[in-house]
Amino acid sequence: MVTASPSLQRLWQRGCDFLGTEFAIMGGAMSWISERHLVSALSNSGGFGTLACGSMTPELLRAEIRATKELTSKNFGVNLITMHPQLDALIDVCLEEKVSHIVLAGGLPPAPSVKKIKDGGAKVICFAPTASLGKKLVRIGADALIIEGMESGGHIGPVCTSVLAQEILPEIRNVPVFTAGGIGRGEAIASSLKMGASGVQLGTRFVCATESIAHPEFKKAYIRAAARDAVPSVQLDERFPVIPVRALANEGCRKFVEKQREVIARFDSGALTREQAQLEIEHFWAGALRRAVIDGDVEMGSVMAGQSVGMVKKEQPVAAILAELVAQAEKALEENPV
């Protein structure tokens, strides 16, 4: 296994200590992809894997945690969606299974949930969209923060990683902060660390890992894609909000625009209520991520991807990807020392 140079180690030591890893590189939690095989491979190779709970039931999550533990003895985390109706039960499962780190995503986490996790002995990681919210999260007990820019895949916010880093990293020093969104090479890792980050989180870069269970057609779509192909979902009418999601442009994206146009026309004619129209729009993508990732339907499915997809050139083992990232970061630090 590759080891980090003293200069790189010094910059991300805080992140490594917090995660209990050799490299301060977290794997982003990607639904259907960040499961036992990819997560264990990341942790076994020196990084930090994160299981994506998504809409799992507590029983399914327990089984996935146990299956992951059979494949690795290293630390890994679990990403929980704060809007999940069984959030408390999912936290109980993580604590009972002695998960070391829990990531709370998808909205401002309830303070009681943060306290429950900490009282149970696990570390809490939260997403901070602004410096003020980041400080609030730290006050209610967050042990570390992730700042994720709109370059990332899946559900995105409105601000890019470089701006978030400038706004938040100088303001929050009392807990480790990890940057995410658009990071595909080691040079970007070195840059984040020099700005004050304790580590990074990458998702898109690991989708085409050999250990990833993503369908071969899904991986081919990634390898063929350029950065400009990963675009946010389009909203036609502010009366019918569309949650922004970044994915590769395909026939499904075009059909979604047509669907919105058709539904809006039916609403305007009085054929649908506002609630019926909103539901029709929201239901268009139901199951679309699974269709793409698992079934390989990359034309009508949702091929969620970050803009760093243009840097995914081939299928590689996780260990090789991590070795590349570390080598690139070290070269950047040699050429431009701190």
Q: What is the pLDDT of residues 219-247, one digit of tens each?
A: 999 999 999 999 999 999 999 999 999 99
* Cβ count within 10 A of residue 128: 26
Token pair for 243: 């949650």
Q: Which are the contacts of 8, defined by CB distance < 8 A and separation ≥ 6? A: 190, 193, 326, 329, 330, 333
Span 108-154, pLDDT tens digits:
999 999 999 999 999 999 999 999 999 999 999 999 999 999 999 99
* Cβ count within 10 A of residue 104: 24
Nearest to 80 by CA among 55, 100, 47, 48: 55
Give SS3 for 32.
coil
Span 75-105, pLDDT tens digits:
999 999 999 999 999 999 999 999 999 999 9
Instruction: Please give the pLDDT value at position 336.
Output: 87
Q: CATH homologous superfamily of domain 6-213+312-335?
A: Aldolase class I (3.20.20.70)
Instruction: Please give the pLDDT value at position 171.
Output: 96
pTM for the complete prediction? 0.96
**Domain extent listing, the chain:** 6-213+312-335, 226-304
Cα–Cα distances (Å) from 225 to 35, 140, 307, in that order, read 24, 41, 9
- pLDDT band for 338, please (50, 70, 90 cuts): confident
Nearest to 125 by CA among 57, 75, 60: 75
- Mean pLDDT for the chain? 97
* Cβ count within 10 A of residue 228: 10
Nearest to 108 by CA among 82, 141, 71: 82
The C-alpha angle 235, 159, 132, rounded to 5 degrees, equals 120
Q: Are 246 and 152 in contact (CB under 8 A)?
A: yes
Residues paired with 248 in a beta bridge: 230
Alpha carbon distance 153, 155 (integer Å): 7
| Segment (H or E) for 247 | strand 245-248
Instruction: Please give the pLDDT value at position 332.
Output: 97
Q: Which residues of 258-290 are buried (b: 16+ CB within 10 A; e: fewer)?
A: ebbeebbeebeeeebeeeebbebbeebbeebbe
DSSP designation for 185: S
Alpha carbon distance 137, 16 (integer Å): 21
Give SS3 for 127.
strand
Q: Is 138 left (phi over 0), alpha (psi -120 to 50) or beta?
A: alpha
- pLDDT band for 2, please (50, 70, 90 cuts): confident
